[in-house]
Chains A and B, each alone.
Chain A
Amino acid sequence: MPNMAMKKNPMPSQEPQARGRNFQEVALGYTAQTAIDEAQRCLNCKNRPCVSGCPVRIRIPDFIKEMAAGNFEAAYQIIAESSSLPAVCGRVCPQESQCESKCVRGIKGEPVGIGRLERFAADWHNAHSTQAPAKPASNGHKVAVIGSGPSGLTCAGDLAKKGYQVTVFEALHLAGGVLVYGIPEFRLPKSIVQKEIDTLSQLGVDIQTNVVIGKTITIAELMDEYGYEAVFIGSGAGLPKFMNIPGENLKGVYSANEFLTRINLMKAYKPDSDTPIQHGKHVAVVGGGNVAMDAARCARRLGADVTVIYRRTEAELPARREEVEHAKEEGIVFRFLTNPLEIQGDEQGWVKAARCQEMALGEPDASGRRRPVPVEGSEFEIPLDCVIMALGTSPNPLIKSTTEGLETQKWGGIVAEDETGLTSLPGIYAGGDAVTGAATVILAMGAGKNAAAAIDEYLKNK
């Protein structure tokens, strides 16, 4: 008999007061008892709508059935068939707009907490399983993966499971891509990312850090000299965007990428790190996406009063609802319908204020969202000592400029087929933010997965 409770079991969390001052994980995870109770809310529908909402098509009702029976390891194994990063996805996937949005239980009440269950199964496995994954027999074919973010790791994992000899090339000194430089510790502990990467290494994936493809080695060299028969480009998003308003190069103005990299990758919040970061007292984050929320919550943890400045209203915020709620609970203030016009500095070149303007929502634009228009005579100043621009990124030019014949979109994204990730060059596939522009971890994973299947198909028929 299923558990017919209308609401999900709530996620135990650190108290907002305490967590707003530390970098430890906010969501604490279900207990085994709660996990079983939540799993029992699943009706195990015949037509499985949830699976259609998952970019990597995890057999959701099957793993939940095992969880309901307390077979957590069996549940994990089902998830691992489809996902290379279960502990990561259980934490950062926007389940509310994917699997859970299709859940029948969500029609009258709340959907099953699929993400929370996935997280529990993965954490349980990581804590209890001592068995290393079996390294598949090699099929003798070499594939190179560029970038060790979500798309690259997924592609590498899927290919390794099929017996390919996979090398992942990472430009930074640490593997994980946005999972280590972008998403903060309190949302995704780095030890969890490392564990997922270790699992890939056990599958036989070779990870080479400190290699910048396009600079250290070109794609042509990978194929002609190093003998890779196929290449997957998962190089991620690139150059941070700025507003092109006066004062953006003052001291105390960061791109969200820089601010988050200093904190997450370089651990600038820890006393033993050699990397500096400004501890602002009054910080504004410009933008309304998940990256803006991450930057705001990091600044808060460094001791600042934080204001998020967004030019539309709360209803248009692109960030996940849950992240916005967490940010508010931690004391972050939102100024909606506000747009900065200029950042003002003091005599030493430090930020001292932002001159802003009130906005109103006008007619819908091409994207269907109502366009913000300035309100005449509404200018005002906010005193600040630090501004973080979280406005998205434009694609990195390094691979494009060094790979002859690789077609890109007008805005710089790599042209790749939807279904396969195939680029304009044979044997070269691409996926994730390098193709779509800034998106989510799970969409990048889906692209990595599709490309792995396509590469397998290509090399089998070659």
Chain B
Amino acid sequence: MNRILRKQPLNPTVTLMEVDAPLVARKAEPGQFIILRVDENGERIPLTVADYDREKGSVTIIFQIVGATTEKLNHLNEGDFIHDFVGPLGRATHTEGLKKVAVVGGGVGCAIAYPVTKKLFEQGAEVHAIAGFRNRDLVILEDEFASHSTRFIRMSDDGSWGEKGLVTDALKKLIESGEQYDEVITIGPLIMMKFVCRLTKEYGVKTIASMNPIMIDGTGMCGGCRLTVGGKTKFACVDGPEFDGHEIDFDEAMARGRTYQDFERHAYEEACNLFKEAK
């Protein structure tokens, strides 16, 4: 059982929680994830570590309310307990020796893009952060990105925040203007990462994508999180969650991500109804 120390809505569908988890906080690194269960009958869901405070012993998670479990999680408040909270899992982002990096985040994926942006910036790398959201109401972590990057480029689908357009438009512009990156790191919706990787492949820029597939145990036991990378089956929980973006079969990952779509939609509606009745 882990206590929620702080809860802060970042936008109408995205919430930040700082959780008391000293053992996890001691080891957590950018790129790693935790698995949690909200209650006794809860499913296990992976969430990437958004921040950590080793001294305070806390780990921050940021999640979008997309289904029954995240809906239930969002109904917990400061002082409440999360039933199970385990980690840090997966491999940390490789940041050593990187001098100039573009970090491309989309939507709630920016929550995961932020800790690596911060780490790279703090170790003295030149960091160009590109964040994309559908509109300005959905923007998260704007100040954090602005203060931890060399350049911060804001993009929105409707032009209500920063420039109108996709993150790939911004990245393309930077590359075309002669910026040379050691690496591009991309985190966000699969479809966005697919197109970021397609773009950087054209220009021959090494790209790392952070994958967030369906998982159960998260320790290399069930194989539910498998994906195809360079023609080989890999397990996101122990081999990843980050992989060479030019080698990932994104179409397969997208299809697998939809395995329980019907079940999830139904469960989400039920959870919403339950909370409505409770009110």
A residues sitting closer than 8 Å to B (CB atoms) are 171-173, 181, 209-212, 215-217, 236, 238-240, 242, 244, 248-252, 254-255, 257-258, 261-262, 265-267, 272-276, 278, 348-349, 396-398
Contact = CB atoms under 8 A, between A and B. Distances in A.
A398 B233 contact: no
Given A210-B85, A266-B216, A216 B233 contact: no
Query: What are the 4 A-B residue pairs with the smallest beta carbon separation, nearest first?
Result: A349-B255, A255-B223, A258-B222, A276-B263
Interface in B83-102: 83-89
Contact of A257 (B24, B83, B223): B223
Interface string B231-249: 0010100100000000000
Contacts of B217: 171-172, 181, 261
Given A266-B43, A349-B255, A215 B69 contact: no
A349 B261 CA distance: 13
Contact of A251 (B41, B84, B255): B255
A267 B41 contact: yes
A278 B41 contact: no
Contacts of B24: 216
Given A173-B37, A251-B255, A216 B228 contact: no
Nearest to B239: A397
Overall SS of chain B's interface: mixed
Nearest to A236: B221
Most buried by A among B23, B42, B222: B222
A258 B233 contact: no
A398 B220 contact: yes
B219 A212 contact: yes
A274 B42 contact: yes
Contact of A276 (B41, B223, B264): B264
30 contacts: A171-B86, A173-B37, A173-B83, A173-B84, A181-B217, A209-B84, A212-B87, A212-B89, A215-B27, A216-B23, A216-B24, A236-B221, A239-B221, A239-B235, A240-B222, A242-B223, A242-B233, A249-B256, A257-B222, A257-B223, A261-B222, A266-B43, A266-B216, A273-B41, A273-B43, A274-B41, A276-B264, A278-B259, A349-B255, A396-B238
Interface in B106-163: none
Given A171-B217, A216-B24, A248 B233 contact: yes
Interface string B1-26: 00000000000000000000001100
Contacts, number: 116
Contact of A396 (B43, B88, B220, B255): B220
Given A173-B86, A215-B27, A216-B27, A261 B68 contact: no
Contact of B219 (A250, A267, A398): A398
Contacts of B42: 274
Interface of B: 23-24, 27, 37, 41-44, 68-69, 83-89, 216-217, 219-224, 226-228, 233, 235, 238, 252, 255-256, 258-260, 263-264, 267
Contacts of B220: 238-239, 396-398
Contacts of A266: 43-44, 216
A239 B23 contact: no
Contacts of A348: 255
